[in-house]
């Protein structure tokens, strides 16, 4: 039964992916650089390694000037 369940999950996942609209038909590039810190991005820009196009994911709800909300966000 476990194999049958995983097959259903695979089909559902494939359907969700197929149903998702896309503007770029190319598959994701596993070699595309990933930056974890601002310093890594700055260094890549200075060295000319930063890609021409990039998507930056940020979390402004985590930006606090006071300690208590920052710790609350960190722990939560």
5 in any annotated domain: no
Q: Is 49 within 8 Å of 33 (Cβ atoms)?
A: yes
Say which residue, 19 or 57, is predicted with more confidence: 57
14 has pLDDT over 80: no
Q: How many domains does the chain have?
A: 1
Q: Please, what's the b/e burial string for 20-57 (b: 16 or more CB within 10 A of its CB; e: otherwise)?
A: eeeeeeeeeeeeeeebeeeeebeeeeeeeebeeeeeee
41 in any annotated domain: yes
CA angle 25, 30, 34 (to 5 degrees): 110
* The predicted structure's pLDDT at residue 20: 55
61 in any annotated domain: yes
Binning pLDDT at 50, 70 and 90, where does residue 22 land? low
25 in any annotated domain: no
Domain extent for 51: 33-76
67 in any annotated domain: yes
18 in any annotated domain: no
pLDDT in tens, 41-67: 999 999 999 988 888 888 777 777 888
């Amino acid at each position: 039964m476990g194999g049958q369940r995983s097959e259903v999950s695979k089909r559902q996942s494939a359907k969700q992916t197929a149903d998702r609209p896309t503007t770029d038909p190319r598959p994701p590039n596993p070699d595309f650089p990933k930056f974890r810190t601002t310093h890594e991005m700055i260094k890549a820009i200075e060295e000319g390694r930063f890609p021409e196009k990039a998507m930056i994911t940020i979390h402004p709800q985590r930006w606090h000037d006071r300690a208590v909300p920052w710790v609350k966000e960190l722990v939560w």
